[in-house]
Structure 1
Amino acid sequence: MKKIIVSLSIALLTLSSCSDFIEEDNRSNAETNEYLKASGFESLINANYAQLKDIYGGEPWLFVAGTDLYSEGRNREPIELSQYTQLTPASPNVDYLYRECYKAIQRANTALYYSTLTEKTTTLTTRIGEVKYLRANAYFLLVQTYGGVSLDTEYHASPVLSFERNTAEEVYTFIIKELEESLSLLPAGAFTGRVTKRAAQDLLAKVYLTRGYETFGAASDFTTAAKYADEAIAGETLTLSYNDLWFPSTTAIDINKETIFSVQFSAGSNSSNPQTTGNGQASYFSSYLGGSEVATKAPYRSYTLLPTDFAIGLYEKGDKRWEGTFMTQAYATYYDFYTKADKTGLTVAHFYVPKWMTDAELAAYKLANPKATIHLYGSYGTSVTFSNDYQTIPVRKFDDPKAPFATSASSPRTSTRDFVVSRLADTYLIAAEAYLRTNPTTGLARLNEVRRRAGVIAATSGQFNIDYILDERAREMIGEYNRWFDLKRTGKLIERASLYNPKIKASNFDGANGEKKILRPIPQEALDLNQNKSYPQNPAY
């Protein structure tokens, strides 16, 4: 590869005020070089993991906005990403993953460079495998979001301001090579905070599955995706209840047996600036609930990414994910749900009526809870006219009772719960989707393992198609950062977003040159920094 590819984590400093981790160490270049060759190498590895907090802990828009499951409430989403009509290369938030992923890539390149110079410890090969996974993950986020991007595998001590664009096919080839190389370097066993072989198998399944839909995908991609998904599953069934899967942990590390990979947050690392360095996931998926300044002691909610009526209507009677996902019954003091083992005598403030509740059942509930505000089914999705708090049903699965109250929508990153990147039920559904193309009987069995844990009847072979899989992924994974990628991968983005999101029409996706705005545009500031002016923009822009 030509050595004209920019070190974007350096060149894009104009897009971010964040200091590089080496600069924070406050050593001269020579001192830093010797430090990283010796005891500082482990710090360099830790810096690679730390970058995940900025990839996943902050803005959610590129992951979930503009889809069938979420729409805006009283506070507006970035209209360009959520509705597509005004989307341009200079739009706000378009650059988020471009910037943060290239920072991760440069940190990985730096670690791999110093891995050839540092002491040959017993953990060195494992660390190399971890970094290869992290670099591959960053490139996978980039290629799904922007298409072909610049492949940079070299350590740069200073900016190089001319770079070329690789094709998406070349990027996928690199990602697969990187991950398959990592398999022989990574340890087997349960996830304890670092990348394992299982995490690489899970990511390989997703990469092969996604490439399989591309025009350049190999005929065997779906088969290979299914193989890697099954290897990651390793015969393990879903044994945790859905509630236990998400109930806030009382331990310092929020890991359970179904976690395949997650980003680690902690109160200690978040203490310097708890409004901007924690996990913001809990803040987005609800109407405003009041806050720490009032008696309810409710968590901060931004009132921006709210479940659509379609998303709420996907659940059926008996689905344990309904109660495990939503705060269907909010007490007068919100966090009593988590902190009070005995809820006898607690006052219910809000109740969200499920679609299957009969009139007689509702009448009995009102009699037993006379102080509850009753939200009838059909009145608490994004079709509602917003006027008060608790107008839409809160997604509670990311709640963190230990988090300080956020101050605003611009600084909601107060949670210290871990961010789950991949988990076992997700892998089952990836396997189901891969087998849909190759062995539908096996694919249906993978999907029905997820439904079995949810407590609902098994799907039939007549129901088993890509839309049913997407519906099941919605029921299982609402609020998790994968929906835009799911719809983009399967070619369902325009269809489902325009059908089920009240803010989106199919014509919103019409772009330049007769192209559809599926890929996000290459950020304008990245193009402006590039002295190679032949770097192409995505054709819809």
Structure 2
Amino acid sequence: MKFLNKLIPSSRCLVLVTLLATVACNEILEENPYTTFTTDYFKTSGGFRSAVVTGYAGMRFNYGPIGALDINVFGTDEWTNGDQAISSPLNVYNVSTSEGDLLTPWNNNFWHINTLNLIINLKPEELIEVREADRVTWVAEARYLRAHYYYLMVTQFGAVPLDLGSGELQFNDVPTSAFNRLPVDDLLVKNYQAMIDDLTFAVENLPAKRPERAFNLSKAAALHLLAKVYLYRGYSAVKQPSDFQNAYTTAMQLIDGKDTYGVALLEDFADVFREGNDYNAEIIYAIERLPKNNTANEMIDPSTDFANKANMTNNMFNSNYQGPIFVFDPSTTPPSTQAYIDGRPLEYGRPLRRFAPTKWLFETAFADKKNDSRFDNSFRMVWYARSVSATPPATYVNRLNAIGLAIGDTAFYLTKRDREADSLKALAGAQKKNYRVFGPSEFYTNTNRTNLIYPSLKKFQSVQRANFQDASGRPLPVSRFAETYLLAAEAAMLLGQPGEAADLINVLKRRAAYRPELTPGEVDSRYAAIEVTAADINIDFILDERTRELAGEHSRWPDLAARGKLLDRVPTRNVDAANIQPHHVLRPIPQSQLDRMSDPDKAKYQNPAY
């Protein structure tokens, strides 16, 4: 696996280009121009800590850039491609072994694992001026990170090597053309056990709580991921009889000990993703980034770098609010190009139109948009007349005024039902609406490309950017306490306790019923309308509830694949993914990896049917 030596070249010399000084949110990336040094550097306090923080920073490859988003969002029941990503291979299931998006995790995660192997295996007596308390905590962080990297790989590719050239979970500094993936079934057993062992150590040795203003790892993060790994193994071919019980027990340890672990559900779902509230108690773990700090975020150019470590979530889910249908007067010569919204206001993001919600997500998963606040708090349906300029151009203001609008007025509105759109469009005289109205039947689909507009995910809205083209500088949530409830509920269901599962889900339902403008009585009434009972609980309901709670949070593809529901749900809910085949439940091993191997029989290392 020659690519494993990106950080660790041949012999025992090392070249580190950049190292994060700390993961605290108020610190920045520091350029440390080390030339070459031996692995002895990692035996020092500074070197050991730098390796841990490099492990933190490497997670940015997996959460935010376009490749990481594509492999987790496309080809699911929730999302299809927008007009800027027509027929994306991962969405239409025309996936080849040369698919570039798959290289985002493949080319980056193993060398981070290798670095973590190095410091995890250092013995206390080998270290130089490293306090034992620090060593234990840093090893716990490193083991969580290693488990998380393996979780990301196994949920996409199936079994992946533990032996990177020098033995299982050992540091390797010698280039190798071996690919230690066989036998696959035995390796998958070891993959899951390694993750569980690492996370168990992390639970025992990490601090109980994370800092208030940083996403350093904690027991809460380890418990959450450990519960998920137990659950996923329970669905797998290498399941153990105790997996679902262990998943339930682990998730409930976090729920019952929420005060000890410093986690809580927020009262208002809208506050979970509110910009400026990124370090709230519901976010257990997020990938750290800092607003307007390209250096800290390892961004060369945040307006053009869609890959590497960019957080593109603020731009990829947006529809085309600048499209031709929104131009004031297209009949002029030459045609006017000025739209109801002037430029690209920071609030609305860059309309890159990569991911569009499926009809199923809009109409079925979120069928009740009144009593359940999560749709309104997750999706943008109204765009207001805004300018990208602090002082709106006079021509723009005048054109707004000419059609009866002013800065801040509604520019266009997406209704939740066609009959509402029809009623608004039928108004005349003094009641006529000056803004544009679109009903659900007019939303963009791959067969209806007239209006490139659709409900746009707003969870990751990022106003604090230096330029309207830029990627986000916000931390990107990975583990939320709300999902811990969903994991516990699912495990309870699998243990034959649907009543317990319903009780856990109803905690989220009650929060979903809350809107700050409602009276307590009105909240109770809305909760009663969406409350569930034991009779409602099954795996499809659990997956529907995960959509309502977690839509767009970069986990849907592995969620469906791990539970064996990809083939069942995707073709009936995503019309663009009708080509899905049984072998698509795993990603192909990248061809570039197989080409590096010395073994001429490369096919035996590939996943079935690729």
TM-score (norm: length of structure 1): 0.86
Distance 1:417 1:208, change over 3 A: same
Point out where structure 1 has 5 or more consecutive residues left out of the alignment: 14-18, 337-343
Report SS of the residue matched to 2:375: helix
Give the counterpart letter for 1:280 in structure 2. M
Deviates more, 1:496-505 or 1:107-116: 107-116
- The answer for the alignment partner of 1:469 in structure 2 is 542
Distance 1:29 1:76, change over 3 A: same
Q: Report the alpha carbon displacement of residue 140 of structure 1 after superposing the two structures with TM.
A: 0.8
8 Å contact kept, 1:347–1:369: no
Alpha-carbon distance in structure 2 between the residues aligned to 1:497 and 1:150: 29
- The answer for the alignment partner of 1:339 in structure 2 is none
Deviates more, 1:131-140 or 1:35-44: 35-44
Alpha-carbon distance in structure 1 between the residues aligned to 2:51 and 2:376: 42
Distance 1:165 1:369, change over 3 A: farther
Report SS of the residue matched to 1:43: helix
Q: Report the alpha carbon displacement of residue 231 of structure 1 after superposing the two structures with TM.
A: 1.4
Matches within 5 A, 1:188-203: 188-190=208-210, 192-203=214-225
- The answer for the alignment partner of 2:392 in structure 1 is none
1:125 aligns with 2:125: no
- The answer for the alignment partner of 2:412 in structure 1 is 350
TM-score (norm: length of structure 2): 0.77
- The answer for the alignment partner of 1:102 in structure 2 is 110
Alpha-carbon distance in structure 1 between the residues aligned to 2:410 and 2:203: 51
Match of 2:590 among 517, 523, 527: 523
1:149 aligns with 2:176: no
Matches within 5 A, 1:428-439: 428-438=485-495, 439=497
Report SS of the residue matched to 2:593: helix
- The answer for the alignment partner of 2:242 in structure 1 is 220
Give the counterpart letter for 1:200 in structure 2. A
Alpha-carbon distance in structure 1 between the residues aligned to 2:200 and 2:418: 47
Q: Report the alpha carbon displacement of residue 91 of structure 1 after superposing the two structures with TM.
A: 2.2
Distance 1:35 1:230, change over 3 A: closer
Residues 263-291 of structure 1: CA deviation (Å, up to 9, x unaligned): 10013213643233431112211213349
Alpha-carbon distance in structure 2 between the residues aligned to 1:524 and 1:238: 44
Matches within 5 A, 1:127-276: 127-152=138-163, 153-165=169-181, 167-190=187-210, 192-234=214-256, 236=258, 238-249=265-276, 254-266=278-290, 267-268=292-293, 269-270=296-297, 272-275=300-303, 276=305
1:294 aligns with 2:367: no
Identity level (%): 28
| Bigger radius of gyration among the two | 2
- The answer for the alignment partner of 1:329 in structure 2 is 382
Deviates more, 1:134-143 or 1:398-407: 398-407
Distance 1:239 1:111, change over 3 A: same
8 Å contact kept, 1:308–1:500: yes
Report SS of the residue matched to 1:136: helix
8 Å contact kept, 1:308–1:383: no
Distance 1:7 1:498, change over 3 A: same
1:538 aligns with 2:607: yes
Give the counterpart letter for 1:518 in structure 2. V
Residues 222-250 of structure 1: CA deviation (Å, up to 9, x unaligned): 11101111112235462331111111117
- The answer for the alignment partner of 1:50 in structure 2 is 57
1:402 aligns with 2:464: yes
Q: Report the alpha carbon displacement of residue 100 of structure 1 after superposing the two structures with TM.
A: 2.3
8 Å contact kept, 2:425–2:433: no
Give the counterpart letter for 1:226 in structure 2. Y
Residues 319-346 of structure 1: CA deviation (Å, up to 9, x unaligned): 111211011221112899xxxxxxx983
Distance 1:386 1:169, change over 3 A: same
Residues 396-422 of structure 1: CA deviation (Å, up to 9, x unaligned): 111001124465xxxx6x101111110
Distance 1:87 1:7, change over 3 A: closer
- The answer for the alignment partner of 1:16 in structure 2 is none
Match of 1:70 among 62, 66, 79: 79
Residues 465-504 of structure 1: CA deviation (Å, up to 9, x unaligned): 1111111111111110110011111111011110011212
Alpha-carbon distance in structure 1 between the residues aligned to 2:498 and 2:431: 47
1:382 aligns with 2:445: yes
Residues 334-387 of structure 1: CA deviation (Å, up to 9, x unaligned): 899xxxxxxx98300121112397589857999778222111133325366224
Q: Report the alpha carbon displacement of residue 7 of structure 1 after superposing the two structures with TM.
A: 6.2
Q: Report the alpha carbon displacement of residue 52 of structure 1 after superposing the two structures with TM.
A: 1.0
8 Å contact kept, 1:321–1:454: yes
Count of aligned positions: 509
8 Å contact kept, 1:312–1:381: no
8 Å contact kept, 1:106–1:155: yes
Alpha-carbon distance in structure 2 between the residues aligned to 1:418 and 1:193: 9
Deviates more, 1:373-382 or 1:414-423: 373-382
Give the counterpart letter for 1:224 in structure 2. N
Report SS of the residue matched to 1:288: coil
Matches within 5 A, 1:79-118: 79-84=88-93, 86-113=94-121, 116=124, 117-118=127-128
